[in-house]
């Protein structure tokens, strides 16, 4: 719908199209809202968690965890404290196409955080969260409906400490969802991805629970500050996003 038509129809959001002239679609905006709501409530809203200063690991309903995922997270944290104090995100998931547990089970890599590579099985603490929350306005007003792209934007343009991730080279978290916002397949109930991951994890059993991790630095760097993909021009979405950033107590 063109803006002129939206104005004539007296739409509530007629004056707030996105970067590309498109209007709000709830099926897209909900992804950023849900992640932001979750993070704010876990760190600041829930009494049982808001005073925890250690790591929080964030998993989603279509993630599959390998049996030694907590062991691997503890090793990552140990190496981070000893060798990479500036690493402020740990990650158990990667999107590599070829997995070799025999060679990589005890290996980790250090990268600048990149949304498309390091958004799965993320773990960070309240210090990192406070840095992220200090840029809430930039996060909430960035015209992009993806939470991870918005996070990359504030990492590049606002955070006091850019996001640096240490991740396991052999994944301990897999994405098994066949369908979603960015994934469309004919058979959403297919178990093909689940079966694939089960085969991988079964074959890897003898290589799990490494006693130590060897971390190496990646030479790849993030490019210029990302441009928004749109879908987040409506002032109501931005206001709700900022409202969540002010949550203080929900029991």
Domain ranges of the chain: 3-178+188-246
The whole-number pLDDT of residue 247 equals 74
* 62 is known to lie in a ligand binding site: yes
* 30 is known to lie in a ligand binding site: yes
> Which single residue is written with the structure tokens 């290589």?
207
CA 207 to mean position of chain CA atoms: 27
The whole-number pLDDT of residue 17 equals 77
The whole-number pLDDT of residue 220 equals 75
* 41 is known to lie in a ligand binding site: no
Angle 226-125-84 (CA atoms, 0-180°, nearest 5)? 75
The ranges of the chain with pLDDT < 50 are none
Q: Rounded to whole angstroms, how far apart are CA atoms 21 and 201?
A: 46
The whole-number pLDDT of residue 187 equals 61
* 33 is known to lie in a ligand binding site: yes
The whole-number pLDDT of residue 209 equals 98
* pTM of the model as a whole: 0.89
The whole-number pLDDT of residue 96 equals 86
CA 91 to mean position of chain CA atoms: 10
Report the CATH fold assignment for 3-178+188-246: Spore Coat Polysaccharide Biosynthesis Protein SpsA; Chain A (3.90.550)
Specify the 3-state DSSP secondary structure of 103: helix
Q: Rounded to whole angstroms, how far apart are CA atoms 171 and 120?
A: 10
């Amino acid at each position: 719908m063109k803006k002129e038509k939206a104005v004539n129809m007296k739409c509530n959001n007629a004056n707030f199209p996105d970067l590309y002239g498109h209007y709000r679609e709830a099926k897209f905006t909900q992804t950023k809202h849900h992640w932001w709501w979750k993070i704010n409530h876990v760190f600041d809203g829930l009494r049982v968690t808001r005073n925890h200063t250690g790591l929080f690991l964030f998993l989603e309903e279509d993630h599959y965890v390998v049996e030694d995922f907590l062991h691997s997270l503890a090793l990552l944290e140990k190496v981070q404290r000893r060798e990479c104090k500036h690493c402020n995100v740990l990650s158990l998931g990667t999107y590599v196409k070829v997995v070799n547990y025999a060679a990589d089970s005890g290996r980790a890599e250090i990268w600048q955080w990149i949304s498309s590579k390091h958004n799965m099985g993320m773990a960070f603490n309240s210090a990192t969260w406070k840095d992220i929350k200090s840029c809430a306005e930039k996060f909430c007003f960035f015209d992009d409906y993806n939470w991870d792209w918005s996070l990359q934007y504030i990492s590049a343009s606002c955070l006091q400490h850019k996001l640096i991730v240490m991740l396991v080279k052999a994944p301990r978290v897999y994405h098994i969802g066949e369908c979603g916002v960015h994934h469309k397949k004919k058979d959403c109930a297919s178990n093909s991805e689940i079966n694939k991951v089960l085969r991988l994890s079964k074959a890897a059993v003898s290589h799990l629970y490494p006693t130590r991790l060897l971390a190496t630095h990646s030479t790849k760097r993030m490019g210029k500050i990302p441009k928004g993909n749109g879908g987040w021009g409506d002032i109501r979405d931005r206001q709700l996003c900022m409202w969540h950033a002010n949550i203080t107590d929900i029991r």
